[in-house]
Amino acid sequence: MTKGRAKSTAHISEVVGKVSEMTARRALLNAGYIVAKPETDEPFDVVFRDPVNREWYTAQIKTIRVREDRDGALVVSARKSNGEPYAKPDADYIVGVLGDAVYMFENTGQAEYWAQEATASKRWVKLPTEIVRDQTAVAQ
């Protein structure tokens, strides 16, 4: 390990994104989903199979930002690298990660998704941080 070497902002941003992706995959697995990563560059980060209806879906994973200037609102920026929002054909779902908290919601083509922390688990599906042994509990 090199001492005294500053990490670039781009590198830190990439690491945060990769950790968010791993956290989201872990949460999906905990909830009983089958999860796979594409081998090629795709507009989605993961594909997953719902444990209840057994259908496959795609998801784009994003790190949630807390907007203190907006009363602590949780904000998920759902834009591609070109600035355009992810359309429904790009990803069925958006998965937002804030630390260990993971939320999933349908992609409706918005550039940003907002929720207050108190209402996020009502508006968005909060995925478990621990393995759910009884998978029927996930479907509720």
> How crowded is the C-beta side of 125, counted as CA atoms within 13 Å?
16
Residue carrying the six token digits 């359309």: 87
Enumerate domains of the chain plus CATH numbers. Answer: 9-129 (3.40.1350.10)
| Residues of the chain by 3-state class (helix, strand, coil), percent to 5 | 25, 30, 45
pLDDT digits (tens, 9 = 90+) for 15-60: 888 999 999 999 999 999 999 999 999 999 999 999 999 999 999 9
Q: What is the pLDDT confidence band of residue 139, given thresholds at 50, 70 and 90?
A: very low
* pLDDT at site 62: 97
| Strand, helix or coil for residue 80 | coil
pLDDT digits (tens, 9 = 90+) for 88-131: 999 999 999 999 999 999 999 999 999 998 899 899 999 998 98
